[in-house]
Structure 1
């Protein structure tokens, strides 16, 4: 095998992978997943944990 063939094959494979990732990232189904993931920090409650509140009572 010639080194040029390996170079061309790896470039083409990289391009195919890049295009596949772009298609997956910009598909309609991915938008819902990204929006859900973006709201995860806001979905948690703002109540402190029991350990933190019991330390405040003792101090």
Structure 2
């Protein structure tokens, strides 16, 4: 085996791996998990609003 064949095999393996990742990323099974991850930023904002309101209420007492 020379370097040309090894390089070709490596290229094909990387291409198959890339296609597998693309199929996984766009599959319907993964969509729910991605949607939850996308909304994690907004969950943090709700927690910050609740803690800010609690601090404000406790300072008024």
What's the TM-score bracket when you normalise by the shorter of the two chains? 0.7 to 0.9
Q: Which runs of 5+ in 1 are unaligned?
A: none
Residue of structure 2 equivalent to 1:19: 19
Count of matched residue positions in the alignment of Structure 1 and Structure 2:
50
> Which whole-Å CA distance do the structure 2 matches of 1:18 and 1:10 have between them?
12
C-alpha RMSD of the superposition? 1.5
* Runs of at least 4 residues off by over 4 Å: none
Q: Which runs of 5+ in 2 are unaligned?
A: none
TM-score by length of 2: 0.71
TM-score by length of 1: 0.73
